[in-house]
Amino acid sequence: MHHRNLITGIILIVIIGLLMIYSSIGHNVYDPDIDYIIKNFEKYNNTQVSFTGEIIEINNISNNILIKLLEPPYHKIIVNLNNTKENLNKGDYAEILGILNGKNHVTAEKILKIERWKHNLIYLRSLPAIPFALYLFFKTWKFNKETLKFERRKKNA
């Protein structure tokens, strides 16, 4: 009986692993991220893309801005502002919706300016959850110093 459960467990782990591999292979085909699009820009040339980044340079003469993406490997993309009328400053975060027309070059159709504090607000909103999670954990578990393990409390089990 023990061997049957072990074999069933191994088969389930292998099936889950194969499904994860299949999903990761098809991810870039059906839902590519901006890193994959930039690496394969010939395939996605003249298609609509969207991304978020930090403005690191503004060129008012050529009406371009240089954006550094927020996700690794932090590509830099030149964005032609075209007819957008957003008031942008160096250091602002911006979400760009535009047409990819060359490697690391996008013509913007729409730009949404994101204030820096609004971008970081998600981290501040999650801070109150940490003490609550610790309270729930230590309400159910206690640390045994003799065995150096957490044990379930008998009162709250």
In sequence order, the 6+-apart residues with CB closer than 8 A to the CB of 67 are: 51, 53, 54, 55, 56, 76, 77, 78, 79, 94, 96
Examine the pLDDT at 157 and tell me if it is beyond 60: no
> Residues of the chain with pLDDT > 90: what percent?
49
Average pLDDT over the chain, rounded to whole? Answer: 88
How many whole angstroms separate alpha carbon 41 and alpha carbon 96?
A: 17
Mean pLDDT, residues 34-43: 88
Global pTM? Answer: 0.64
**pLDDT score recorded for residue 77:** 94
Cβ neighbours around 34 below 10 Å, total: 21
